Structure 1
Amino acid sequence: MAAEGNAPKIFPSSHKTVVILDHSPFMAEACGQTVDFDILPKQSRAAPGIIPLAPLAKSLWTCTVEAASEYARVVYDVYPPRSRDKLLKFVITDTEARSLNSWLEEEQSLSNVLQGLAVVGPPSDSDDAENCSVMHGLAMAVESLCEGSEKQLEHKASLSDPEEPVVNKGRVVCITTVKSQGHIQMLEECMQEAIVQHNKIAEAADKLPITHCELVLIHTVPVGADNNIQDQPNKEVSSLLSCEVHSVHSGRHIAAKLALLVQKHFHLTSTTITGIPMKEEQNASTSANYDVEILHSKDAHIEILKMGSTSQGYDSSGFACSKDSFGRETVILKWCTPKTNIVELQYCTGAYRITPADVNSRPSSCLTNFLLNGRAVMLEQPRKSGSKVISHMLASHGGEIFLHCLGTGRSPLEDPPSISEGSGGRVTDYRITDYGDFMKENRLMPYPAPQDGQILPEKEAIAVLERTTRYWPLVISDTIIFNMASHTDPLPTLITKAALTEDEVVECQKAIYHLVGMESRSEPLPIPAMGTRGKGPKRDEQYRQMWAELDTLLRAHASTSINHQKVLECLQEIRRPAEEAKESSRKAGKKEEVVVKEERVMTEQSTAELAWQEIQRYKAMSERERSDFERGNTNNDHFRHRQQTEVSSPPIKKLKTSLEDSQGKQQGGPPSLLAIWTSRINSKYNSRHCEFAGRLTAEGNKAELYVNLQKDGTNGTSDKPSGVKQEKRGP
């Protein structure tokens, strides 16, 4: 296990980078890209007697050295050697391999590397091309990676266990010319074998075995030459080695490729500052706007990069970005001159070193000198819509230029926001005074070192804070008991203590009894007016809310001790009779309501069943039975036979009469379904024939026959035999 404060540290692949430059005779060839060396203007060149100079062509070696030097300059500017985080080592290989510097801090500088390159000189055609191989450089690169850097050696010395391994990763960037894909495979095998052999030697020589190595092969050829080597993405050759291949032409192409790789290898990104006002060199009275590209850590744009960018000119959030012809992406920030004093302290969330992408250009030089003279520049993000956002600032500190990330939200250095501007809408009734008292009661103060067995003060403070905040409403309108402190004290204060004495339990019970007395006397509660026009809930509802809140408070602290539980039991015993009475009355009312509802349902169901039974019987009648039923004649033989067959069913006339009596107009209720059906049938048949005049005039809709016979019988002149009864027939 590592010692306390020295946790296992993983050194990434970017910690140590070996750059291998091929110094073989092939690198002496021209790069195929010419440079105009004539400094005379075109008008002077056309004058007679002036012989223009022929354009120059750089060699492959010169272009490679310039691109590699720019690679090192960016790394040393963004990560200075004194930080010892990003280290570079240059190796020259031809018939043998030579190292230009070491991992020591004093040798990590661009001037030291350039001096070593000047001593080496350009490649010569007289060198033995057959004995020149890049494998010598690969072997030296593996050996160099096994050597620990100063940070790695310090970390290893701080480990409590000397046998604990140190994670040692590295990267090898090799610029050469390969012949074929088979040549690339041979270099991979050579690199793999070298790592295995040096790892065995490193264990015995007290060096650091290589955990993993990244090999980056850059195949370069002159501009315009045939290039049959394809790019190869990063692939795992083994658990110790991964390899990727980049095929590129020389000249400006290899410079752009290494500028892209340095961003990828060291977690950098590009920012273009647009709209920089700068005076013209020829005419100082006029000015023009220029653009300057800078490189810095990608963390400076972490918020923008989270949103994801595209090549359409704006990212998904509306911020400007662009890509060049080489695929390099840059974030666009606009020069801004606000009317604020730059000397004032700015709210920054981070500061990162920068370096110009083109250090020798006039706009980059002017911007650098402007910042080194103590000036500061505010940068805004151009957007398609919305107000401008000043998100970054350029300023120098100690001779180095930093890109500052400004907080786009509210700064803690400004006035505090209104408490009514919190989340969830406009809230104006926070318990500000109570919260101030709460902070005073929970202040931390210096305390002497605790003795053996004594509880640490910070742990005790955390325990007090936990008990105090078990129930602590934030808003005045969310509480009742904390708004009537004169009636509830000292209950809310005592209940948060870690232990209660018997006297304190009695004090809490007295507070509960006092609230019971207030409810019995129907005293109003001192709570703020709520609702429409100051009308809050009724008094009974207020007391119900108060008891519920008090129960919540006591339950939150009931598990603290036995005496806390006694306070909760006191409240429950007092409130139990009232709750039981309310519950019994509620249950009685509910039971009565259920009984009435069941009776109503049963009555409706029985009425409906009788109505449907009579309808079914009516449908089963014959035409003669229906005619007699409509006339009310039940002495028909067919109807009598039907009644005898349906012994279990009551007579239809009786059902009809009983149904009409139960829900007819005599009762004042709505007519039954059978009554409605009968009325419809009667109206239908009445419309088909004229009613007998005698029925309409007779009493009870029955006309008497042989009226004269009755009269004659009274006079003794009747011709009917005696004993014959008078029949009453229908029409």
Structure 2
Amino acid sequence: MEDFNHKTVFVLDHTQYFGISGDNTFQLEFVNSKGIESVVPVSKSLWTTSVETAAEYCRIVWDLFPTGKYIRFIVSDANAHIVNTWAPVTQNLTHVMNAMAMVGTPPPLPHSAEFTVIHGLRAAVEALAEQTEQQKEKRAKGVKVMNRARVICITSARDDSSMKSLEEIFYTVVTQQNFQTTQGASEFIKIDQCHLVVINLHPSGLDSMVTNRPLRDLNGTVKAEVHSVKARDFGNKLTHLILPHYDLASTTVTGIPMKEEQNASSSANYDVEIFHSRKSHSIICRNEQELPTSIKENAEYETVTLKWCTPRGVGAAELQPCLAQYRITPVDVTSRPSSCLINFLLNGRSVLLEMPRETGGKITSHMLSAHGGEIFIHTLHTSRSCLEDLPSVLESNSGKVTDYRINDFASIIHNFKLIPLKQYPDRLPDRNLMRLRAKFCKTTKYFPLTAGSTIVYNVRQFLEPMLTMIGKEEISDDEILKCQQIIYNLIAFEARQEPLTLPIGHHKLKGTKKDEQYRLLWAELIHILQIGPQSSNHKKLLTFIKNENVSEVSKDSKRLNTQVTNSPMSPPGSSDSTASKKKAQHSLLSSGNRSLYEIQVAADRALSRKRLDFAGRLCTPLGKIAKLYPNLKLDSVYTDQDAPQFSP
């Protein structure tokens, strides 16, 4: 909605209703001659609340945009009273507040139909058709000007139907004004688009029958929205609306050390909220950084919280490389912390602002500094500065990568080098460029960036010149024979279980089984042929790899594994270990109603059958005791009865 902020018109309701109290009381302290303080409650009228809040809206806009943003005031009662014009000399708060003082509070007269806000809306539409100084300059140069504007009407309506009729009247007036502009003199300009913001202001102690309505399009020219606000919340509401109106953002500077006003020996930390352009936050583009945001208390908008850092001077040695700078203005300009911060910066000091980093620690993201009597917020470089050396190609966001295929990438660039050609009538412009672009896209459809993410391009000594041949648009019959011979050689390597030569140190497949390496090699080679040129010989080579060679390799590898397993040098029971395990699991699962002891005994017996029994038991008849060391010659002291005996 920032396109509508070149011209803004405030229409203030000056009818009798706005002379009543807004039920928003505050305390005033008076000290009499005897030194006794007395507290008196004071309540502002709806008129005073609307004038003060609208003036604060203007202060923020004119602080941030000294030129180019025009605001006019129109007071409506029995007639429309023009407070200021589009002339730059009337675009200041001094002129506006002096005119408001002359208007005064609404008179306590009985209600009359002549007192209405419609007079102010009609005058506002006529003001929008007038040209500002910038619009006059552009039209004098022949530049087409889009007249977009905004009208903020502060009034009080009975219910939603009254508010709807007010919107319809405004739309009708805009249509009539555009018709008169097309038929009238050239000093007026047509209203292309208008944004109507109607604020229904009512006392804090009363409920309103008017409901909030979001922005909606009445037609192609007028957009309208309705806000129903109590008097005590009107300041926060208009402050919230100014952010999207002028594309502003809020920043809260926390942790500002400041001495206490009543006790100069002690200090405390305070917070100050400032407004500035939203681009100061959005220009930080690094992914790992997110500005800390929170909803402000008693408000509807978010504010970015940045911590005060040690102040520094503004000398040449302290200059920081920054991305952009924007004017700032405090939200509460009358508070003591805001006044101290502004005076501190105007005295030639600068303040660095810190934000937390996701990976831990803090980083300096912004700086507050004054230039020529105006205070700016500077968005600092949070990454590598343009004054530093260029980063290496090996550096990335996730760390240093040392296995980029730089030589292969340089070879592709060399192969696709362009030479300018003369333009001929029979040659379409950029025809060769489009052809080369299509070929380049096809060639780089599969291009692993690192050597650790590919196998084919790491074993070129086995695959060349086949890799070069399959990249051509056409393959001859002789080249097909060469490619088939290379495939046969690979099959022989796989049958002999020869390992592939992969880069040492950073390849993720280093140490993987040979069968897995060859499987990935064939899969990657098939993928390259599938996405590459699709000539008849390319398809023939792809079919040759799929249907004949890869299947034969898998059969040979299985046959070789079977022969090795059943060799005489294999340990006993290794060939049928898997089958015996499955059989034992099946016997345990099919145990029926046997007890746990019976199951354990059966499992021990099944396990004991796989081991060779003691030789003494095998040689001793059943029922007799086997002797240990039967051929050992014993002394006379020992007898056969003293020898150790084992029962079967």
TM-score of the superposition, structure 2-length normalised? 0.62
What residue in structure 1 maps to residue 92 of structure 2? 110
Structure 2 counterparts to residues 656-695 of structure 1, below 5 A: none
Per-residue CA deviations over 1:255-301 (Å, capped at 9, x if unaligned) read 44433443464454543322101245677665332211223456766
What residue in structure 2 maps to residue 638 of structure 1? none
**Given the alignment, which residue of 228, 232, 238 partners 1:246?**
228
CA distance in 2, matches of 1:377, 1:129: 57
Secondary structure of 1:528's counterpart equals coil
CA distance in 2, matches of 1:381, 1:58: 42
What residue in structure 2 maps to residue 72 of structure 1? 58
Verify: 1:140 aligned to 2:123, yes or no: yes
The CA deviation at 1:358 is 1.2
Per-residue CA deviations over 1:500-544 (Å, capped at 9, x if unaligned) read 697xx8568546535645766979576128999976545x88667
Q: Bigger shift: 397-406 or 197-206?
A: 397-406
What residue in structure 2 maps to residue 343 of structure 1? 319
**Given the alignment, which residue of 391, 395, 410 partners 1:437?**
410
What residue in structure 2 maps to residue 93 of structure 1? 76
Q: 1:447 to 1:566 in 2, by over 3 A?
A: same
Look up the equivalent residue of 1:232 and give its one-letter code.
T
The CA deviation at 1:19 is 0.2
**Given the alignment, which residue of 45, 55, 60 partners 2:33?**
45
Look up the equivalent residue of 2:177 and give its one-letter code.
H
Per-residue CA deviations over 1:313-362 (Å, capped at 9, x if unaligned) read xxxx996735434666645443244999963436x6x7665321012333
Secondary structure of 2:501's counterpart equals coil
Structure 2 counterparts to residues 263-662 of structure 1, below 5 A: 263=243, 265-266=245-246, 268-280=248-260, 286-297=266-277, 321=294, 323-325=296-298, 330-337=303-310, 343-345=319-321, 353-372=327-346, 373=348, 375-380=350-355, 387=360, 389-390=362-363, 392-396=365-369, 401-403=375-377, 430-434=403-407, 437-438=410-411, 441=414, 452-455=427-430, 459=434, 462-493=437-468, 495-496=470-471, 510=482, 513=485, 516=488, 527-528=501-502, 537-538=513-514, 546=521, 549-559=524-534, 562=535, 565-566=536-537, 569=540
Verify: 1:175 aligned to 2:175, yes or no: no
The CA deviation at 1:446 is 9.2
The CA deviation at 1:443 is 8.5
CA distance in 1, matches of 2:355, 2:311: 10
Residues 308 and 354, structure 2, Cα contact 8 Å, conserved in 1 = yes
Look up the equivalent residue of 1:175 and give its one-letter code.
I
Secondary structure of 1:276's counterpart equals strand
CA distance in 1, matches of 2:471, 2:5: 56
- Say which structure is richer in strand: 2
What residue in structure 2 maps to residue 715 of structure 1? none
Q: Which runs of no fewer than 5 residues in structure 1 stay unpaired?
A: 1-9, 305-316, 589-731
Residues 93 and 133, structure 1, Cα contact 8 Å, conserved in 2 = yes
Verify: 1:19 aligned to 2:10, yes or no: yes
Residues 487 and 515, structure 1, Cα contact 8 Å, conserved in 2 = no
CA distance in 2, matches of 1:361, 1:123: 27
Look up the equivalent residue of 2:201 and give its one-letter code.
H
CA distance in 1, matches of 2:50, 2:513: 85
Per-residue CA deviations over 1:86-138 (Å, capped at 9, x if unaligned) read 5432223344324344557x468434753773685535859998554422111
Q: 1:495 to 1:213 in 2, by over 3 A?
A: same
What residue in structure 2 maps to residue 201 of structure 1? 180
Taking only the aligned residue pairs, the percentage that are identical comes to 30
Alignment size in residue pairs: 535
CA distance in 2, matches of 1:367, 1:459: 60
User: Considering only aligned residues, what root-mean-square deviation do their CA atoms show, in Å?
Assistant: 5.7
CA distance in 2, matches of 1:271, 1:446: 53
Per-residue CA deviations over 1:629-665 (Å, capped at 9, x if unaligned) read xxxxxxxxxxxxxxxxxxxxxxxxxxxxxxxxxxxxx
Look up the equivalent residue of 2:120 and give its one-letter code.
G
Q: 1:459 to 1:169 in 2, by over 3 A?
A: same
Residues 551 and 568, structure 1, Cα contact 8 Å, conserved in 2 = no
Per-residue CA deviations over 1:394-449 (Å, capped at 9, x if unaligned) read 334755545566788999979969969887xx997734444553575378889588
CA distance in 1, matches of 2:292, 2:263: 35
Secondary structure of 2:213's counterpart equals strand
Q: 1:141 to 1:545 in 2, by over 3 A?
A: closer
TM-score of the superposition, structure 1-length normalised? 0.56
Look up the equivalent residue of 1:214 and give its one-letter code.
L
Residues 291 and 363, structure 1, Cα contact 8 Å, conserved in 2 = yes
